[in-house]
Amino acid sequence: MASSSRNNKKYDVFVSFRGEDTRDNFTSHLYSALCRQNIQTFIDDQLNRGDEISESLANAIEASAISVIVFSEGYASSRWCLDELVKILECKKDYVQIVIPVFYRVDPSDVRNQTGSFGDSFSKLEEKLKENTEKLRSWRNALKEAASLSGFHSLNIRRESDLTNEVVNHILKRLDEVFQPRDNKNQLVGVESTVEEIESLLGVESKGVYASGIWGIGGIGKTTIARAIFDKISGDFEGSCFLENVREESQRPGGLACLRQKLLSNLLKDKSAMPYIDLNFRRLSRMKVLIVFDDVTCFSQLESLMGSLDWLTPVSRIILTTRNKQVLRNWGVSKIYEMEALEYHHALELFSRHAFKQNHPDVVYKELSSKVMKYAQGVPLALKVLGCFLYKREKELWESAIDKLQRILHPSILEVLKISYDGLDDKEKNIFLDVLVSFKVSM
């Protein structure tokens, strides 16, 4: 119930805080930073509150994927804040909501045990409600539980700007976990080691501008791998951009200019960033950025989009996917990963996920599935296209379809092969045709 409802959340983040303590400092900075990252954040900044949290506020907590609790010195003096806290922990239990405490100028042990200046604030409220022992007990238990969670301590991160950045980056990573697309599971089969190898090529923990290339035929899974790596590590960078379909977009009128605009806007988080202003690249020269150029076909595209690597910081990283290895050589990319076809058992699993909506073929279709494996040759796009085409088809239709596949290529696969062929030089085209002919004969 809990995990399945996460993707239906109205808000990404709910922020619980004591307005008098943090409204004009940390909480305002945190809220602004979250908004800049396009993180849908609920923050209740009403100055006049009643004794109980409203139903709409309780609903907002339930409708959030993450709750951030900003514990400050006066937090426990507000029964409103304490009731929010109780509700948040209920959602943690009932809906597996992620809870992130931030200890702003208070010690976690003081929150946990209601001691120190934080305890003094709670004692004043306790004196007013000393007859309501059940309410007080629930608050104490909530404070103890929340203060025991892993969070952020402002006394360990002295600069408020650094604290804000660390909290926001952590939220981004947790949101990636919450809203990871379910269809990624259908795409990422047998590629864990590939992701690790390319990460190693990038040298994420090292300094020095690392540009890595992912090279292979169309449909082999270059974009899928690049996206998986981007989603995994982009949170560690100040700016990031995934430029998809560079080949296709650059063929449109003004396409390269639009791509450059998108590149600068995403990296600088500034929609008004102009593509031909040197100041923008000067700003980027001070940032740690991650860029993916997907489906690059010629050197001039990269030149138009970003010139050279000179303006990048030593901790920035670039990933290029291409069908043309020469593009990578021309740009001086020496760290190149060649994509290979999936191994048989992984190919069969990927095909089965699309053809049967499970990790293995139905027994009745096992032999026919093996024939499809021979045709698809471990190419992920072919496996997906064929799996979707054969989904819920009768056995007789499978046999007919496989017979046709042996004589004519499926249109989607034919298009992929055509694009791959067009990107080759004359010598490579001849080799490609020889391989294709021999493959058809072997079928």
Tokens found for residue 42: 């609920």
340 is catalytic: no
Q: Domain 3-178 - what CATH class?
A: alpha beta
pTM: 0.62
Q: What is the DSSP string of 148-212?
A: TS--EETTTS-SHHHHHHHHHHHHHHHHHHHT--TTHHHH-SS-HHHHHHHHHHHTTTS-S-EEE
Of the chain, the end-to-end C-alpha distance in Å amounts to 48
CB atoms within 10 A of CB 270: 14
184-338 is a CATH 3.90.45.10 domain: no
Cα 356–Cα 361–Cα 364 angle in degrees, nearest 5? 105
Structure token digits, residue 237: 């960078």
**Catalytic, out of 62, 84, 238, 349:** 84
Complete DSSP assignment for 66-132: EEEEEE-TTGGG-HHHHHHHHHHHHHHHHH--EEEEEESSS-HHHHHHT-HHHHHHHHHHHHHTTT-
Q: Which residues pair with 321 in a beta bridge?
A: 214
Q: Provide the residue-wise pLDDT of the chain in tens; the chain has 443 residues.
A: 344 445 568 899 999 999 999 999 999 999 999 998 889 999 987 544 554 567 888 999 999 999 999 999 999 999 989 999 999 999 999 988 999 999 999 999 999 999 999 999 999 888 888 778 899 999 999 999 999 999 999 988 778 999 999 999 899 888 877 876 544 544 577 677 888 888 888 876 666 667 899 999 888 889 989 998 998 888 788 889 999 999 999 999 989 989 988 998 888 877 777 666 667 778 888 888 999 999 999 989 988 888 777 788 888 899 999 999 999 988 888 889 999 888 999 999 999 999 999 999 998 899 999 988 988 888 888 888 888 888 888 888 888 877 776 665 555 555 555 544 454 455 545 544 554 444 444 34
Reported as half-sphere exposure (CB side, CA atoms, 13 A), residue 30 has a value of: 31
Q: Do 43 and 27 touch, CB atoms closer than 8 A?
A: yes
Dihedral over Cα of 384, 388, 389, 395: its sign: positive
For 362, other C-beta atoms within 10 Å of its C-beta total 13
